[in-house]
């Protein structure tokens, strides 16, 4: 079932077309991977969904979520939707968590604002969320600060915050790029598990084709603001239709040697 | 002509600063040509208000205020620029050594700097000037003594940051001596922020110089120096033109250099410069 | 005699107000002329500190580093011993590797011994000779890294060390730069110590691999052997965690737990709290490297204690 549909999205900034007409849909319980090199527009796509495009960007096309075109909303209306219906996880966990607030506060503030819970309810739910992302000893963890956790743990906390208000959509932009490979494995398993259990519609933006291969159900490849290929993961990675996709796969180390 | 300036310099603040500074520099160079009278000539009717042949009126000794203000620029502005330049060189070199060599070199230099910082700037400058004997030269020396530590401290911080930067390390690995490393890699890269600091400091130094002269610790009469002019004008308060015009001169120069300094800082800081460019798009 | 011989190296990090942290806790490594050794490990394992100690940027606490038969002394206030300028390093951050205020040709010329010219060196690293007059900010990350390599090569090093030289580059540039470093080193007979957390790239260019964990080298061996038949449990976990871009949707295996704080390492074998094959002896005594692997599973002395 389609939860979010992007139709003919265009984004212009300062006369340059950053996204030049793309179509993409996010399905319930499925991970849609968006691949491409830097400058392809893949991060911009996530920002467009979130309403966080840079100052001066102009958009065209539609992004429909629950019957509303997100691009037509005012900043205030978008604020209300952003935390509640769309969760986000970014690459750099050292800057996406507030360094001076306990993680309990960071989770509960968010929830109390959107879900109107009282302190006790919010705290209970926060502990539950931390359990879901497998942070050990969630009760005590609530009172700790981000710097007391490792990089991988902080990313799990960021995921917990993203899921706090039970969003339907999760945008993950290079969520594991800054992490060690063994830590990354844990996060990828977590993301896949959460997507399956909670029926999330996930947009996973990454340049790492290995990550794509492990977690994505559908893959779209972007280049210079356009989509060059979309299809099921196995098909796109084993038998790419587009020469650019083929080139990306061939450029992988070890790929050209059988 | 404004069109040819880079983006960050086209803002009203920057243009104003540039225009005023340029105007005063012209005065510094061409005062003898622009001034209608000899600044020291006491031959005019005393305490006349602005008007007639005297745009700024005459002072208590019958001298033309306008000419004195123009000639005052020739004194204050070059002297201040010299002062700042010397502070930068002395403070910068000491700070660079402190930052690069560390240990006892750092300790020694910074403790001396701390000693200076412990005193209120103006009071210390006054004390040094007074003990050296009141003269313009000694006032400059006194201000130098109180100004170099700020540059030392900033330079030290910048150098500490640069010392472990990869390109500095690779220079050492290639066989650079520490002196070559300092000269080639470190100092050129601290120049930017120091330049901004120095420009913003010009205003402060001018005020300090004028202040010392105002207190009688700097320029001696009959020299036409703005601070001294304001001082003697306090005797004739109701004759506002005697003190206001030199005061305005100080004000405009300080403001102009502050504007320049602010603009330079914005231009050199990559984030701010980018934000300004984007706003203009 | 090896080109580079590191023995039982210990390097402590000192920070004010805190006890020193042992970043490298006894590591031994060799590099032969013309050989590419890949040093891999995750954050906090000490590989960068090891690299810096080898070229003298970090001072060792114990152990020895011998280069071409002579002891490597840390960089101090004196000029670098000319013999030691034959060790050169390429750093991770291409934006901090070059002096922003000098033209690249001049920076390359700094290192030149003999008759080479900056233009020739630029061409050797795949850049246009005409670019010698430009400033660093006019180049991309990948190009800057090539320039940094040219600068290091100018000194005709017999040991080139790359400290995560490709990590900050775009995926497409990574394999290229790694390959470039390999070919330049090998064709000049120099040794290359290539440090990276990216195993796929190291697999492509290294003749031998050394795996580091929490300050110690746990396994070394020829690349193909280590890849096909990893012996140390950490090496196995590391390789199993790499997601294969084969379109199969297989999730990589997870290694539970966190890397311990280097200031408080586990007793005995440092990996034992996370090791699926931990035995009693593992928490008591540290295994010594034997035949390229430091693990009680392969050390009969340890299993005899069972």
CA distance B113 to C79: 30
- What domains can you pick out in chain A, each with its CATH number? 2-250 (3.40.50.300)
Q: Summarize pLDDT for C1-27 with one digit per residue, the tens.
A: 889 999 999 999 888 778 889 999 999
- The pLDDT, as a whole number, for residue B114 is 95
Is C78 inside any structural domain? Answer: no
CA distance A222 to A219: 10
Q: Summarize pLDDT for C41-60 with one digit per residue, the tens.
A: 998 899 999 999 999 999 99
Residue written as tokens 């340029």?
B22
Q: How far is B187 from chain C (nearest CA, A)?
A: 10
- The pLDDT, as a whole number, for residue B230 is 87
Chain C residues whose CB is inside 8 A of the B175 CB are 79-80, 82, 85, 111, 155
Q: Summarize pLDDT for B113-125 with one digit per residue, the tens.
A: 999 999 998 899 9
Q: Summarize pLDDT for B19-31 with one digit per residue, the tens.
A: 999 999 999 998 8
Q: Summarize pLDDT for A149-190 with one digit per residue, the tens.
A: 888 899 999 999 999 888 999 999 999 988 889 999 999 999
CA distance B113 to B149: 5
- Total of domains in chain C: 1
Q: How far is CA B61 from CA B64, B67, B242, in A?
A: 9, 14, 11
Please tell me whether residue A14 adopts helix, strand or coil conformation: coil
Report the topology of domain B2-280.
Answer: MetI-like fold (1.10.3720)
Contact indicator for A150, C258 with CB cutoff of 8 Å: yes
Contact indicator for C200, C273 with CB cutoff of 8 Å: no
- Interface residues from chain C to A (CB-CB < 8 Å): 42-43, 170-172, 174-175, 178, 197, 199-201, 203-204, 237-238, 240-256, 258-259
Is C184 inside any structural domain? Answer: yes
Is C257 inside any structural domain? Answer: yes
Average pLDDT over residues B235-255: 89
- pLDDT tops 70 at residue B187: yes
Chain A residues whose CB is inside 8 A of the B281 CB are 14, 56
- Helix or strand holding residue A222 (H, E): strand A218-223
Q: Summarize pLDDT for C91-108 with one digit per residue, the tens.
A: 999 999 999 989 999 999
DSSP string covering A170-214: EEEESTTTTS-HHHHHHHHHHHHHHHHHHT-EEEEE-S-HHHHHH
* Cβ–Cβ below 8 Å for A237 and C204: no
- pLDDT tops 70 at residue B277: no
Q: Summarize pLDDT for B106-159 with one digit per residue, the tens.
A: 999 999 999 999 999 889 999 999 999 888 888 899 999 999 999 999 999 999
- Lowest mean pLDDT: which of A61-70, A87-96, A196-205, B85-94? A87-96
DSSP string covering chain C: --SEEEEEEEEEE--TTSPPEEEEEEEEEEE-TT-EEEEE--TTSSHHHHHHHHHTSS--SEEEEEETTEEPPPP-SSPPPGGGGGEEEE-S-TTTSS-TTS-HHHHHHTT--SS--HHHHHHHTT--GGGGGS-GGGS-HHHHHHHHHHHHHHT--SEEEEESTTTTS-HHHHHHHHHHHHHHHHHTT-EEEEEES-HHHHHHH-SEEEEEETTEEEEEEEHHHHHHS--SHHHHHHHHTSPP-SSS-PPPPP--S-PPPTTSPPSSSTTGGG-TT--GGGGTSPPPPBTTB--GGG-HHHHHT-
**Which of B73, B76, B53 is closest to B63 using CA atoms?**
B53
- The pLDDT, as a whole number, for residue B1 is 58
* Residue A10, Cβ density class (10 Å: 0-12 exposed, 13-18 middle, ≥19 buried): middle
Confidence of residue A251 (pLDDT cuts 50, 70, 90): confident
- The pLDDT, as a whole number, for residue B280 is 59
Contact indicator for A155, A162 with CB cutoff of 8 Å: no
Quote the domain boundaries for residue C231: 4-72+83-244+252-304
Q: At what angle do helices A181-198 and A151-163 cross, to 10 degrees?
A: 20
Confidence of residue A256 (pLDDT cuts 50, 70, 90): very low
Taking the mean position of all CA atoms in its chain, how far away is CA C97?
17
Chains that touch A (3 or more CB pairs under 8 A): B, C
Which two tokens mark C259? 């890397």
Chain A residues whose CB is inside 8 A of the C42 CB are 180-183
Is C77 inside any structural domain? Answer: no
Q: How far is C279 from chain B (nearest CA, A)?
A: 43
- pLDDT tops 90 at residue C235: yes
Where b means 16+ CB within 10 Å and e means fewer, B170-189 reads: bbbbbbbebeebbebbbbeb
- Helix or strand holding residue A7 (H, E): strand A2-13
Scanning every residue of chain B, which has its alpha carbon at the shortest distance from the alpha carbon of C99?
B167
What CATH number has the domain bearing residue C153? 3.40.50.300
Chain C residues whose CB is inside 8 A of the A237 CB are 245-247
Contact indicator for B77, B24 with CB cutoff of 8 Å: yes
Q: Summarize pLDDT for C247-290 with one digit per residue, the tens.
A: 898 999 999 888 888 888 999 999 999 999 989 999 999 999 98
- Helix or strand holding residue A24 (H, E): strand A16-27
CA-only gyration radius of chain C, Å? 20
- The pLDDT, as a whole number, for residue A221 is 95
CA-only gyration radius of chain A, Å? 18
Which two tokens mark C138? 């006019």
- The pLDDT, as a whole number, for residue B275 is 67
Q: How far is C97 from chain A (nearest CA, A)?
A: 21
**pTM for the model:** 0.84
Please tell me whether residue A253 adopts helix, strand or coil conformation: coil
Q: Is the ipTM of this complex over 0.90?
A: no
Work out the number of other CB atoms within 10 angstroms of the CB of residue C204: 20
């Amino acid at each position: 079932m389609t939860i979010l549909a992007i139709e003919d999205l265009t984004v212009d900034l300062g006369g340059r077309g950053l996204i030049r007409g793309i179509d993409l849909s996010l399905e319930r319980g499925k991970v849609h991977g968006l691949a491409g090199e830097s400058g392809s527009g893949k991060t911009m796509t996530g920002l467009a969904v979130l309403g966080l495009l840079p100052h001066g960007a102009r958009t065209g096309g539609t992004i429909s979520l629950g019957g509303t075109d997100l691009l037509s909303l005012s900043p205030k209306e978008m604020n209300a939707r952003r935390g509640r219906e769309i969760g986000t996880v970014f690459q750099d966990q050292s800057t996406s968590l507030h360094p001076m607030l306990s993680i309990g506060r960071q989770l509960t503030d968010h929830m109390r604002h959107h879900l109107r819970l009282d302190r006790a309810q919010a705290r209970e739910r926060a502990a539950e969320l931390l359990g879901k992302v497998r942070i050990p000893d969630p009760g005590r963890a609530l009172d700790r600060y981000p710097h007391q956790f490792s990089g991988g743990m902080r990313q799990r906390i960021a995921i917990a915050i993203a899921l706090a208000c039970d969003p339907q959509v999760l945008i993950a932009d290079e969520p594991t790029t800054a992490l060690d490979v063994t830590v990354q494995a844990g996060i990828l398993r977590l993301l896949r598990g959460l997507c399956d259990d909670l029926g999330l519609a996930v947009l996973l933006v990454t340049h790492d084709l290995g990550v794509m291969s492990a977690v994505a159900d559908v893959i779209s490849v972007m280049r210079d603001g356009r989509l060059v290929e979309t299809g099921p993961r196995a098909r796109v990675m084993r038998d790419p239709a587009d020469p650019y996709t083929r080139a990306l796969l061939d450029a992988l180390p070890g790929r050209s040697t059988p | 002509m404004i069109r040819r300036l880079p983006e960050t310099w086209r803002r009203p603040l920057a243009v104003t600063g540039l225009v005023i500074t340029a105007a005063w520099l012209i005065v510094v160079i061409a005062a003898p040509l622009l001034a209608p009278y000899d600044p020291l000539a006491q031959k005019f009717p005393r305490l006349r208000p602005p008007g007639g042949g005297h745009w700024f009126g005459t002072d208590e000794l019958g001298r033309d205020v306008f000419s004195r203000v123009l000639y005052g620029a020739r004194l204050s502005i070059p002297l201040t620029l010299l002062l700042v330049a010397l502070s930068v060189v002395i403070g910068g070199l000491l700070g660079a050594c402190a930052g690069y060599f560390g240990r006892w070199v750092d300790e020694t230099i910074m403790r001396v700097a701390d000693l200076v910082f412990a005193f209120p700037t103006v009071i210390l400058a006054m004390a040094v000037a007074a003990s050296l004997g009141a003269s313009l030269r000694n006032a400059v020396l006194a201000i130098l003594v109180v100004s170099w530590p700020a540059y030392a401290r900033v330079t030290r911080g910048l150098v500490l940051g640069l010392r472990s930067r990869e390109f500095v390390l690779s220079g050492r690995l290639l066989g650079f001596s520490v002196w070559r490393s300092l000269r080639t890699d470190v100092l050129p890269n601290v120049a930017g922020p120091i330049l901004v600091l120095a420009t913003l400091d010009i205003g402060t130094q001018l005020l300090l110089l004028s202040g010392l002269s105002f207190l009688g610790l700097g320029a001696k009469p009959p020299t036409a120096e703005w601070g001294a002019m304001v001082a003697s004008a306090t005797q004739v308060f109701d004759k506002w033109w005697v003190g206001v015009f030199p005061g305005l001169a100080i004000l405009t120069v300080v403001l102009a250099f502050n504007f320049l300094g602010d603009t330079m800082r914005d231009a050199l800081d990559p984030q701010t410069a980018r934000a300004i460019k984007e706003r203009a798009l | 005699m090896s080109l580079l011989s590191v023995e039982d190296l210990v390097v402590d990090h000192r920070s004010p107000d805190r006890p020193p942290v042992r970043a490298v806790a006894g590591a031994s490594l060799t590099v032969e002329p013309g050989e590419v050794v890949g040093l891999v490990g995750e954050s906090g394992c000490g590989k960068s500190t090891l690299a810096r100690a080898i070229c003298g940027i970090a001072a060792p606490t114990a152990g020895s580093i011998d280069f071409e038969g002579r002891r490597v002394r840390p960089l101090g206030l004196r000029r670098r011993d000319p013999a030691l300028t034959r060790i050169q390093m390429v750093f991770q951050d291409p934006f901090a590797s070059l002096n922003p205020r000098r033209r690249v040709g001049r920076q390359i010329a700094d290192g030149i011994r003999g008759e080479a010219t900056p233009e020739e060196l630029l061409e050797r690293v795949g850049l246009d000779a005409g670019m010698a007059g430009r400033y660093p900010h006019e180049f991309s990350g990948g190009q800057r890294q090539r320039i940094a390599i040219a600068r290091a090569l100018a000194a005709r090093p017999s040991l080139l060390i790359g400290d995560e030289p490709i990590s900050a580059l775009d995926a497409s540039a990574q394999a290229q730069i790694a390959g470039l470093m390999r070919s330049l080193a090998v064709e000049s007979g120099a040794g290359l110590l290539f440090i990276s957390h990216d195993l796929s790239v190291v697999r492509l260019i290294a003749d031998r691999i050394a795996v580091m964990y929490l300050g110690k080298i746990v396994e070394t061996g020829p690349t193909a052997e280590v890849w096909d038949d990893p012996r140390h449990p950490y090496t196995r976990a590391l390789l199993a965690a790499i997601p294969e871009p084969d379109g199969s949707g297989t999730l990589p295996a997870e290694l539970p737990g966190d890397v311990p704080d280097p200031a408080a390492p586990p007793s005995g074998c440092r990996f034992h709290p996370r090791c699926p094959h931990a035995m009693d002896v593992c928490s008591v005594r540290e295994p010594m490297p034997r035949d390229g692997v430091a693990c009680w599973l392969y050390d009969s002395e340890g299993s005899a204690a069972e």
